[in-house]
Amino acid sequence: MEKRIELEKRGKNPAQITELNLDNCRSTTIVGLTDEFENLEILSLINVGLTSLKGFPKLPNLKKLELSDNRLTGGFDILETSPKLSYLNLSGNKVKDIESLEFLKMFKNLRHLDLFNNEVTNVENYREKIYKMIPNLKYLDGYDAEDEEESEVEDCEEVNGNGEEGDDSNEDEEELSFDEEDELDESVGLGMVYSEHIDDLSDEEDYEVEEGEEEDEEIDDEEEEEDTQNLSTSSAKGKKRKHEDGEDDD
């Protein structure tokens, strides 16, 4: 177990570690785990072969303890140095009677207790007796007192204490979405203004072009009239010259 602890530390100071997994490292008692892990919140000792919790250190911030698939029969009073414990898994051990668990009523924060596959579960009115002994307990073997199954989301929120933080993050997302909608509305509004302005400009250009075309048409009409007048004048002069030439011949 000592070698496994050193490996899991990865060169970190014990006080920096909040989660430690020592599953499947064989030992009958706790060895190498010291009070230096003062900020440890989650400890897993699944299938280690523990027959006793002897050597269990003082872990004042421990919230979740996995001890399933060992050979423990009792001695849980040694956990008193971890008053924040809210989740305890003892499934697959050798606990035979409710008296072996009586000390757990001292844990005011204990909400989750798993005793599945222990002989104690065969005791008459087992669930009622456990809930009566530990009144603050919310889930026993994955079910509440009304036989409603525990959800994984609720489990994570209660153990990690992230329920309220999750609500805040949702509020932030909602506020962000509202801001994005406002920005979108503003951009659409500006786009419409720009579009209307462009349409006005295009209308003015069309108007100017039309005016220019009309002026060109008027100039063309005046030139045609002048050409017609000149043509008429020249024709009249031609006739006059012929008439005078005729008189001279006579």
- pTM, two decimals, is 0.63
Gap between the Cα atoms of 61 and 36, Å rounded: 12
Give the integer Cα–Cα distance in Å for 19 and 60: 14
62 and 121 co-located in one domain? yes
Is residue 212, in this structure, part of any structural domain at all? yes
* Residue 192 forms part of a structural domain: yes
Mean pLDDT per 10-residue segment, the chain (250 residues): 93 96 95 96 98 96 98 96 97 96 95 97 96 96 92 60 46 47 50 49 46 51 57 48 48
Helix orientation angle between 163-249 and 152-160, rounded to the nearest 10 degrees: 110
180 shares a domain with 115: no
Q: Report how many domains make up the chain.
A: 2
The answer to whether position 45 is within a domain reads yes
Are both 11 and 56 inside the same structural domain? yes
Greatest distance between any 2 Cα atoms in the chain = 163
Q: Which residues constitute the domain of residue 40? A: 2-161
- Asked if 214 and 96 sit in the same domain, the reply is no
Residues 102 and 46 in one domain: yes
E-assigned strands of the chain? 19-21, 42-44, 64-66, 87-89, 112-114, 139-140
